[in-house]
Amino acid sequence: MVCPTVLILLASTALAQQHETVIVTGTYDPIPLNESDRDVHVESITPQRKLLSNALLDFLKLDSTIDLQERAPNGIQSDISLRGTNFGQTLILLDGLRVSDVQTGHYSMDLPLPADDISQIEVLKGAGSTMYGSDAVGGAINLVPGIPDAGDFSLRLGMGNFGTNQERADGSFVLGPWSQTVSFSRDHSNGFTDDRDYRDLRFGSMSHVKDPFGIADLILGYDDRPYGANQFYGNYDSFEHTKTWFAALHRTLGEQTEIDFGYRRHSDLFVLLRTDPDYFTNRHIDQAFQAALRRWEKLALNTRLHYGAEMIHDSIDSNNLGQHRRTRASAFVSLDVRALQRFSFSVGAREEYFATGPGGGQAVFSPSASAGYWLTTKLRLHGSVSHAFRLPSYTDLYYHDPGNVGNAGLKPEKAWDYEGGADWDFTGHLRAAVNVFELRERDVIDYVLNPATGIYVATNFDKLNFTGAEVLLKYYGFAVSYTALHGAYDATQAQILESRYTAYYPSHEAVASWEGELKGGFLVRTRVGVLQRFDKDPYGLWDCYAAYTRHRIHPFLQLTNITNTVYQEVAGVAMPKRAVLGGVEYRLK
């Protein structure tokens, strides 16, 4: 078996890859990661590292602050939470544009591009509404596509237990100022138990052009995924079929101005009883249009003023929720002062207006401030205070089924986030970071059980506070992270415990991982994670990935849940035990 042997060789064979990481999330300008005033986690995904994963979630599992609540493996349906918040309070972005679903956050990870198109994952931890508007209460996850620098072609085939098979292909070429990538992926499984089969089919196209006016990027994507949803939303043998269409255009005009347009369409066919589709079936179609204009001005040597405006229009057409639409418009401004390796300071604000019907509208003001200071060339302190808010989803407002009812009178969620931390870069190979934070939420939306009817009803909680600490230590290819969370509630404890999501946060989570290249061209990653949710028993998972990366043919092997742990990431939804996937990739560059 590969992994136990690897553990013996780790200390002597790990090879470190040193390069400067540049981020675009949580900042208006691309900056080096070590200059960020906010807590940002970055995973750079090289072609070699893609062989050490089966889905993008495999990289998110390397950070103990990110709470993944999967209902099925390989990202078929997964909720993502940050710092104790629920899945609807984490904003998902693709190249800086929103892909979070307006019907419900359960579908925000229905990503329209194959995983191989993503070259970097950036996770902003903490409130981000000043920059991104609604939904970024716990934070934001930005999936950054790669731009090819040379022609490339790859074909990947894999097979595993539970009737799993996958086919992936992507090709790119560069012709002067124009580069083009086309990609395809298909993942299929018969399921590890009854009514847990799935298929995930995706197509992607990315065009990048440089011209005398600037840069233009065009992204087109499509995702089709039918899957068995046994126990996903209660004690039912359900079935679901979702489809996602996505188009985005990013255009720069010179160095100081950029324009963005985005369109997302998502359809959802939900059958409560797969054996009796006529009993309860829902069909939903939601659409979202977004546009943004951003510009910056240089005020002094180290000072920039950023400003702009955004507009979002979304709608839903559903046999269950009805037909609804709303429009949001916002303006923002930010002043950024930055002297590299010395200090940095940013202050900004956003005013967002949203209208849900004729004659009705509200506005939310979201300010923020952050700062960083280098005590020495190796030690940097940083802190921030930010406001965030989230509009109720259409499901929160209007949904109804035999066990759940929405509430059209829900108020938007609001929160203040306070954060402070320190980053040490001791030797270039040894790094450490500590962050502490407090998130104070008001009017939190959750589903609360009505004892008289046995139905969960969407409700605003008055107050909910989270206090937490995060610790990270890296040495060459080793990484250890630990996150602790404590929740405090002003609502009655009985209400909290009878809600669906509020009391399901991870109170303790630790992750230990190692990744490196062994002699002979073998690349290996192993990960051990231990998680304990509030008032629940802890459980641990061990995964291991290995691949041969030399020449053009790359065999790979993936072992997940090696210890055969019985666990649930969402209450009542069983996850698979030990799984094995092996295959081969052919790459020509």
Element (H, E) at 12: helix 2-13
Please say whether the dihedral angle defined by the alpha carbons of residues 383, 389, 395 and 401, taken in this order, is positive or negative: positive
The average pLDDT across 224-250 equals: 95
The average pLDDT across 202-217 equals: 96
Decide if pLDDT at 17 tops 50: no
Identity of the amino acid at 377: T
- Please tell me the distance from the alpha carbon of residue 183 to that of residue 154, in angstroms, as a whole number: 9
Decide if pLDDT at 360 tops 90: no
The percentage of residues in the chain with a pLDDT greater than 70, rounded to a whole number, is 95
The average pLDDT across 465-472 equals: 96
Candidates 154, 50, 95, 31; CA nearest to 515 is: 50
Decide if pLDDT at 239 tops 80: yes
Of 181 and 28, which is predicted with more confidence?
181
Decide if pLDDT at 5 tops 50: no
Q: Between β-strands 404-405 and 455-475, what pairing exists: parallel, antiparallel or unpaired?
A: parallel
CATH number of the domain at 324, please: 2.40.170.20
Element (H, E) at 425: strand 413-425
Confidence of residue 439 (pLDDT cuts 50, 70, 90): very high
pLDDT at 3: 44
pLDDT at 227: 97
pLDDT at 495: 64
pLDDT at 174: 95
Q: How confident is the prediction for the chain on average, in pLDDT?
A: 91
Element (H, E) at 10: helix 2-13
Confidence of residue 27 (pLDDT cuts 50, 70, 90): confident
Confidence of residue 266 (pLDDT cuts 50, 70, 90): very high
The average pLDDT across 6-20 equals: 42
pLDDT, tens digit (0-9, with 9 covering 90-100), for 114-170:
999 999 999 999 999 999 999 999 999 999 999 998 999 999 999 999 999 999 999
- Please tell me the distance from the alpha carbon of residue 355 to that of residue 310, in angstroms, as a whole number: 14
- Please tell me the distance from the alpha carbon of residue 33 to that of residue 36, in angstroms, as a whole number: 6
Candidates 222, 229, 226; CA nearest to 203 is: 222
pLDDT, tens digit (0-9, with 9 covering 90-100), for 556-586:
999 999 999 999 999 889 999 999 999 999 9
Number of domains in the chain: 1
Residue 306 lies in domain:
2-588
The average pLDDT across 456-462 equals: 89
Decide if pLDDT at 426 tops 90: no
pLDDT at 14: 40
HSE (side-chain half, CA atoms, 13 Å) at 521: 10
pLDDT at 2: 39
Based on C-alpha coordinates, what's the Rg of the chain?
A: 23
The average pLDDT across 353-378 equals: 85
The average pLDDT across 314-334 equals: 95
Q: Are 516 and 10 in contact (CB under 8 A)?
A: yes
Q: Are 420 and 29 in contact (CB under 8 A)?
A: no
Q: Are 127 and 439 in contact (CB under 8 A)?
A: yes
pLDDT at 23: 84
Decide if pLDDT at 15 tops 60: no
Q: What is the pTM of this model?
A: 0.93
pLDDT at 25: 87
Element (H, E) at 396: helix 394-398
Ordered DSSP codes for 443-496: EEEEEEEETTTTEEEEEEEEEEEEEEEEEEEEETTEEEEEEEEEEEESS-HHHH
Confidence of residue 475 (pLDDT cuts 50, 70, 90): very high
pLDDT at 9: 37
Decide if pLDDT at 11 tops 50: no
